[in-house]
Amino acid sequence: MRPIQMVDTRSQYHRIKSEVDQAVLDVLESSAFIQGKPVQDLATELGAYLNVSHVIPCANGTDALQIAMMALGLKPGDEVITPSFTYIATTEVIALLQLTPVFVEVDPQTFCMDPESLRKAITPRTKAIVPVHLYGQAAPMEPILQIAQEHGLFVIEDNAQAIGCEYRFSDGRTAKTGTLGHIGCTSFYPSKNLGAFGDGGAIFTNDAALAEQLKMIANHGQRTRYYHEIVGCNSRLDSVQAAILRIKLRHLDDYNQSRRNVASHYDRVFSAHPKITTPYQASYSTHVFHQYTIKLAPGVDRDGLVKFLSDRSIPSMIYYPVPGHRQAMFAAFGTAKVTLPITDALTDCVISLPIHTEMDNDQLQYISDAVMEYLS
């Protein structure tokens, strides 16, 4: 059996090696490393795939979120509502821009922002909402957008874990996550569903004026070279990464289907087990399984499971061991006093198992047998 990894980027590369190698060599030969043609081509192709008017490539997913928040003209002290149960990048940029992060609960089934908790957190200082499509499951965007509209709030989607996920509104209309709010952000970090061979990110919007701002901010606040209208930053996707991403984008739907196949296998083995809750799949969206994250029943020794698996050369991860409101970096915001019992409970019981596009049945069987053996 091949060694088991959380993500197997090498095997994935080998399946498209000749195409990727040629694309990289073409960039090297052109030597247009920055703002080369592949970057614009990727933006166009990604826009078509997502059915969104504007795609602004940038250096990474964290920058995408930062640039999105900068483009909305928020002022220090403005409140931005976000789940505590997410990767730190979502919330870090809020504090970095001297905005105030307001942490709310997630739904224990979807792991995504709970609309009721969001509604309760709104104050006169609230300016924006950042839902996260965690683990590849879409947040309940229809109620979130409804609440945002009622209160005149911006919605920035953190789509770093859910590119390719499709949302279905109650009227039957469908759209890709990342294109539902005012701005969507994604990451091309190598382990993401659409991963580069280095860092990368992108920002999406259907609003032409916002697109103009986002583009300027990502490029030193300039429209015309050396004429800097606003304070921006330097955040670019390089041509080599764009060339690779163009090839991988053509496989994205297949990649996401492979992830769903892995999830179905795990589901079949685990679903009847009284100590395991398998991932919930909301009826309002597809699931692209960036992670396969189960919940363990109270009393199961999670550290013991991690060690049991590790002793059998099976990696596993806790995403994430410390929720935002308990991070030292936010101490100044008094977030430690926030009570988020669902988030705390999830933090203590989740465990993510290996899932990627290159897993074979032997590996899947071996992993699921080991989990079942530990819990027997």
Ligand X SMILES: *Cc1c(COP(=O)(O)O)cnc(C)c1O
Binding mask 177-216 for ligand X (x = CB under 6 A): ----------x-x---------x-x---------------
Size of the site for ligand X (CB under 6 A): 15
Contact call for residue 144 and ligand X (CB under 6 A): no
Contact call for residue 292 and ligand X (CB under 6 A): no
CA separation for the pair 60, 58 (Å, rounded) = 6
* Nearest-CB residue for ligand X: 61
Contact call for residue 60 and ligand X (CB under 6 A): yes
Contact call for residue 86 and ligand X (CB under 6 A): yes
Cβ partners under 8 Å of residue 287, min gap 6? 136, 137, 138, 165, 260, 263, 279, 281
Q: Which of 24, 160, 244, 371 binds ligand X (CB under 6 A)?
A: 160
Neighbours of 253 (CB within 10 A): 12
Of 139 and 351, which CB lies nearer to ligand X in the complex structure? 139
What three-state secondary structure class fits 73? Answer: coil
What three-state secondary structure class fits 10? Answer: helix
Pairing of strands 54-58, 166-168: unpaired
Q: Which of 84-92, 144-152, 206-214, 270-278 is the region at the interface with ligand X (rule: CB under 6 A)?
A: 84-92
Q: Which of 86-94, 166-174, 206-214, 324-332 is the region at the interface with ligand X (rule: CB under 6 A)?
A: 86-94
Residues 251-290 interacting with ligand X (rule: CB under 6 A): none
The DSSP H or E segment spanning 157 is: strand 154-158
Contact call for residue 24 and ligand X (CB under 6 A): no
Q: Say if CB 159 and CB 178 are below 8 A apart.
A: yes
Of 85 and 270, which CB lies nearer to ligand X in the complex structure? 85
CA separation for the pair 313, 3 (Å, rounded) = 8
Q: Which of 87, 111, 154, 330 binds ligand X (CB under 6 A)?
A: 87
Q: Which of 114, 157, 158, 238 binds ligand X (CB under 6 A)?
A: 158
- Residue 93 CB, nearest distance to ligand X (Å)? 9
Q: Which of 54-62, 300-308, 324-332, 345-353 is the region at the interface with ligand X (rule: CB under 6 A)?
A: 54-62
State the greatest distance between any 2 C-alpha atoms of the chain, in Å, as a whole number. 67
Q: Which of 91, 126, 161, 335 binds ligand X (CB under 6 A)?
A: 161
Of 78 and 158, which CB lies nearer to ligand X in the complex structure? 158
Of 90 and 343, which CB lies nearer to ligand X in the complex structure? 90
Distance of CA 103 to the CA centre of its chain: 18
Residues 293-322 interacting with ligand X (rule: CB under 6 A): none
What angle do helix axes 239-249 and 252-270 make, rounded to 10 degrees?
Answer: 60
Contact call for residue 89 and ligand X (CB under 6 A): yes
Q: Which residue has the tokens 């669902």?
A: 342
Q: Is cis: bond before 135, omega within 30 of 0?
A: no
CA separation for the pair 246, 248 (Å, rounded) = 6
- Residue 267 CB, nearest distance to ligand X (Å)? 23
Pairing of strands 126-129, 79-83: parallel
Of 8 and 199, which CB lies nearer to ligand X in the complex structure? 199
The DSSP H or E segment spanning 167 is: strand 166-168
Neighbours of 59 (CB within 10 A): 21
Q: Say if CB 80 and CB 101 are below 8 A apart.
A: yes
Residue from 101, 133, 106 nearest 118 by CA = 106
Binding mask 92-131 for ligand X (x = CB under 6 A): ----------------------------------------
- Residue 90 CB, nearest distance to ligand X (Å)? 5
- Residue 9 CB, nearest distance to ligand X (Å)? 15
Tokens of 348: 């203590």
Q: Which of 12, 82, 84, 90 binds ligand X (CB under 6 A)?
A: 90
Q: Which residue has the tokens 């409101």?
A: 325
Binding site for ligand X (CB under 6 A): 60-62, 86-87, 89-90, 132, 158, 160-161, 187, 189, 199, 201
